[in-house]
Each structure stands twice: as C-alpha cells, then as structure tokens.
A and B are shown apart, each in its own frame.
Chain A
Amino acid sequence: MATSNTGVEVRLPSAPRGRGLRLGGTRGVDLIAKMLTLVAAVSVLLVTVWLVIELWEQSELSRHAFGFRFLLDRAWDPVFGHFGAMPFVYGTLVTSAVAMLIAIPLGVGAAIFLAELAPRGLSDTLTFLIELLAAVPSVVLGLVGIFVVVPWVRTSFGPFLKDIFGFLPLFQGPIYGVGFLTAGLVLAIMVLPFIVSISREVLLSVPNDLREGALALGSTHWESTWKVVVPTAGTGILGSIFLGLARALGETMAVSMVIGGTPQIAASLFAPGYSIASVIADQFAEATGDLFRQSLVELGLVLFGITVLLHAVARLLVNTTARKAKGAA
C-alpha cells in the first residue's frame, strides 16, 4: 500500500507484502515452546541416526576383517575367530518363507471374509480377536512353541509331511521337532494379525461404487470381490505382506526358542538351524572377544538394512493404495 502526496491511497496491483504466516507464535512463550517441542520431535530422528552410527562403528572390526565375504561365508567359528553370516541369513530367509507361505493365503483369505463377506458385527469381533493376537508377547508364543508345537511337529505333523512329501529333499532326514519348519509355523502365527488387519483396512477403503458396479452387471458376491475389489486393493495387500515379512525377519524370541540353535545350511525343513536375530539373542551376552561381538553387531546391521528396505517398499505400496482409493472415492 502506498500513499500518494495528495493523501489519496493508491492500491498497488502487484502481489501484496506478506502479512500472513505470522501465526500466534510471535510471542516469547510460544517461540520457546515451539523450540522445545521441536527438540523433542527431532530426538526421534537423532535416535534413529545415532542407532545407525552405533551399528556401523561397533561392527568396524568385523567389517574390516571379513569385508563383503561376511555375507556369503558359511563358517561361524568363535574358537578360531572366523565369522560368516550365511547360515543365519539362510535361516532367516527360510523360516520367513515358511511363515509367509502359510500366513499369506490364510491372512488374505481371512481379510477378504472380514472386509467383504462377513456381517459387520461378526467382522468387528473377529478382527478384534485377531488384532489382540499381535499383542501376545513373543516370548509367550515361544513358550507355547517349545512345549506344544515342537512335540507336535516331532510326533505328528513332521511324520505326516514326511509320509506325503518325503520324496522332496525339503522333508527328508530326522525330525527333531525344533528346526526351520517349527520356527516358520510359530512365525506364521506372529505375522498373521498384521496381514489380516492391514489387508482388511485396505479392502475396506475400496469405494463402494466399484462393488455395486460389479454386482449390477450380474456378478456374484465372490466375483465382485475377487475380480474387482481384490485387484483394486492389490498393491495395498502386497504392502501388508511386506510389513508382515519385515516383522518375520526381525522376530527374535519365539524363533530362538524353537529353531534349534545350530548354525548350518540344510535342505531339510526338519533340520535345526539359526536365524540372524536368534543368534544375536543367544550369543551376544556371552560373546568373548571384540571380533566375536562385533560380528554379531554386523549381523544386526544386516538385519537392520533388510528391514529398512522392506519397510520402505511396504510403506510405498500401502500409501499408494490409500491415495488411489482416496482419488477414486
């Protein structure tokens, strides 16, 4: 705003100078409060960065001693100070694969029923119970694993699989009860609630006119669900699977209690093995010597890296669906 010398105000057509953006925060108290809460918020970021730095620095010896071979080396020999991650990476991948193989069809099926087919009241009750399963502490499931799942696999489920699929290397050899298969079964129970809960959310976010459109064309309920709703929610369901997988890979206690604690790569699912998280849990507190301990930290670093990657992909997938659904609605 300018005033001409006659006293008449002249309005300038150009963009006005800013009088906005001054929120209530000009006062001292508000500024101090903003700064203090900012520090608190940033602390989350700092802790995350600090964590990465510590993992990196605390694994220096191991990284220098073994380089990238660490990932592919099959030996784990504390006595001779020779460490390789391969058996643990293998165990982590195999147990997670078994878990996902069981949990994906079961979880997605349950989510479809809960989101599309079940009456609202029943759906809410079942979802509530399934989500509660996620609250059960890992160590409690591990306990049940030791005393129920392990004997069951040894005496019934294992022999049953061996009878039918015994011609496959996957189901050969002695059945100990503990091992990859048992760990996978327990893991499946742990990731199931994640897949069900998120997939259901994603399915529910699919706009109703798509369903009605399909039904109006004479589709059965199932056809509208399977051919229209599920493909629309596909990316989001995939995201829920990745989140479940990220959890499976990092799961520690329940796995460590039933996997058998043997650093080996074996074709048979009945064989005992080890996973990254469970070897850290078992050996870290008693690790003698810096190289031993730092190798375990490097395993932690590997685990962290895998989780970050999976998490990023999962978020991207879930968010994409959420945006798409919002756009369509």
Chain B
Amino acid sequence: MNRLTWRKMVNAVMSSVTALCALIAVVPLLFVLGLLVVKGTSSLNWAFFTKLPVPVGETGGGIANAIVGSAELLLLAALFGVPLGVAGGIYLSEFGGWGVPFVVRYAADLLVTVPSIVIGIFAYAVVVLPVGHFSALAGGFALGVMLLPIVVTNTEQFLRTVPVWLREGSLALGAGHWKTTMSVVVPAAMQGILTGILLALARVAGETAPLIFTAFNNAYWNRGLNQPVSSLPYMIWIYGISAYDDWHRQAWAAALLLLGLVLVVNVLSRLVLARRMASRRIA
C-alpha cells in the first residue's frame, strides 16, 4: 500500500470514528427521554397532579404538593435573583467602568461553578441555622443564589448586543442615561433578557442538592414560607431511592414531568434566541 492510499485511509477512518463519537454523545439524551416516556406516561393521571402522597403501602395518591412546592420555590428564587440580577446586569453593561465590572463578572462566573451542594450549605448557614428549622424561604434563597449570577451574566450580554447608535439616538434627544437605558436599551434587549431568565429558572428547577437541607420535604401542603416544603426534584430523589414499587412508578412520572418542562423551556428559548440572532445578522 503506498503512502497516499494510507493517508486517505486514515482520513476516512478518523472521520468515521469522530462521527461515531458525535452519535454516541447524542444517544444518552434520546435514551433518557425515551425511557422516561415509556416508564412514566402511564402514571401521569389526574390523581398524580391533584392528590397528596398516600402513606407507604397504599397505592395511588399524587405529588400535587411537590408541584406546587417547586412553583413556590422558583417564585421565591425569582423574587430574590431576578430584580437583583437584572439591575446588576444593567450596571455592568450601561454604567460600569473597568474595575467593578471586572471583579463582579469574575465573581459571577465563579458562583455559577460552585457546586450546588455548597450553595445548600450556605443557605443552611444563613437561613436555617438562625431560624432553627427548614423552610421554603431557605430553599428559595438557595435557588435564588444560584439564579443571581446567571441572570446578571445573561442580562449584561443581551444589553451589550444593543447597538451604540440606538443609545446615541436617545441621548441626542437630550434623554438622560437612565431614561435611555430604561426606555430604549432595555426594551430592545427585553426578549433576550426574559428568555435568559426562563432558561435560568429551568436550570435551577431541576436542582435537588441545595434543597435537601434547606426546603427539606413535606408530605402535605406547605403551610407558609416559614415551613418546610416539598419539590419535584426532591420527590424524585426520595421516591427513586426508596424500596417501594409504587413510589418508583411515581418517581418516573415525576421525572418525565420535570424533564418535559425543562426541555420545552430549553427548546423554545433556544429557538427564540436563534431567530433573534439570525434577524440581527440580516439587519
């Protein structure tokens, strides 16, 4: 075999090998999705969405408290993370000089990488310890701390895509910095900012680790922000590692529900963002 044939063969073989790698990388998502659909769909019934869990040994019941609990925790997280995050992003993009934004950006980048279990310890230390018991508030705070750096970074990035000439148009009419920001720059980036927030919420919605010793769990309806609350991911965890078939069945259904919500938000957001980028390129 001469050298050229050999080189052509290497080319063909390596192209196939890397293509195979890419295919293998796609398999887990499709596999997980298919498995959840097969195992979970049959349990997604009316009771599942509307009933409380029943005691061990009885079949039936649902996880309504966990669905409502997750919504409650996300709302709390958003109340903490979104206003602060958007305002912070506005500062970084519109008002920041060199020093403060540099440090804040680094901190945000770091905070995103901190393992979620460590965020849980933090929320435990600052909310649970002083109060003396687990609470929805502590869980919401933990998720909010995770949300904050993502929202800051996203907001800054989307504001930065707003072209300079749009800002100048407003400044040239004698509008101040803040007026320009709020009535021209932020509206121009609004779609992106909102999509970013939605993506961030979808991401923290699946977090279990920061909730284990903050929001903890509750087999009943949450009776106030100061009380423990159940959540979808926590339910999946507890039911999944339990020894009861009926709980396993519900864990699959809950996982299907959670993954479905997360994927729908992700797919839609990415489509919106892709279209936004494309329209920008034409303009």
Contacts and interface: CB of A to CB of B under 8 A. Distances in A.
A192 B236 contact: no
A138 B11 contact: no
A154 to B, nearest CB: 17
A41 B29 contact: no
B25 A140 contact: no
Given A139-B237, A146-B241, A129 B26 contact: yes
Interface in A9-67: 23-25, 27, 29-30, 33-34, 36-45, 47-48, 50-51, 54-55, 57-58
Interface in A293-313: 296-297, 300, 303-304, 307-308, 311
Interface stretch (A82-90, A103-111, A266-274): A103-111
Contact of A140 (B7, B95, B122, B206): B206
Contacts of A308: 110, 113
Interface stretch (A157-165, A204-212, A248-256): A248-256
Contacts of B181: 33
B178 A311 contact: no
B246 interface: no
A281 B84 CA distance: 29
B240 A146 contact: yes
B108 interface: yes
B10 interface: yes
Nearest to A311: B113
Contacts of B240: 139, 142-143, 146-147, 257
Contacts of B96: 41
Nearest to A129: B26
Contact of B26 (A34, A50, A130): A130
Interface stretch (A68-76, A167-175, A217-225, A233-241): A217-225
Contacts of B233: 137, 139, 253
B64 interface: no
Contacts, number: 282
B18 A44 contact: no
Contact of B95 (A37, A108, A147, A222): A37
Given A58-B121, A284-B124, A118 B258 contact: no
Contacts of B35: 144, 148
B202 interface: yes
Contacts of A147: 240, 248
A141 B32 contact: yes
Given A128-B270, A251-B115, A139 B22 contact: no
Contact of B121 (A34, A196, A223, A300): A300
A144 B32 contact: yes
Contact of A48 (B91, B107, B176): B107
23 contacts: A24-B175, A27-B176, A34-B178, A36-B87, A44-B104, A45-B104, A48-B107, A54-B125, A109-B18, A109-B21, A112-B21, A114-B22, A128-B270, A130-B26, A132-B263, A137-B208, A139-B206, A144-B32, A193-B25, A221-B15, A281-B117, A284-B212, A297-B121
Interface of B: 7-8, 10-11, 14-15, 17-26, 28-32, 35-36, 83-92, 94-96, 100-101, 103-104, 107-111, 113-122, 124-126, 129, 145, 148-149, 152, 171, 175-181, 202-203, 205-209, 212-213, 216, 233, 236-237, 240-241, 248, 251-252, 255, 258-259, 262-263, 266-267, 270
Interface of A: 23-25, 27, 29-30, 33-34, 36-45, 47-48, 50-51, 54-55, 57-58, 105-110, 112-114, 117-118, 126, 128-130, 132-133, 135-144, 146-148, 189, 192-193, 196, 220-223, 226, 243, 246-247, 249-253, 257, 277, 280-281, 284-285, 296-297, 300, 303-304, 307-308, 311, 315
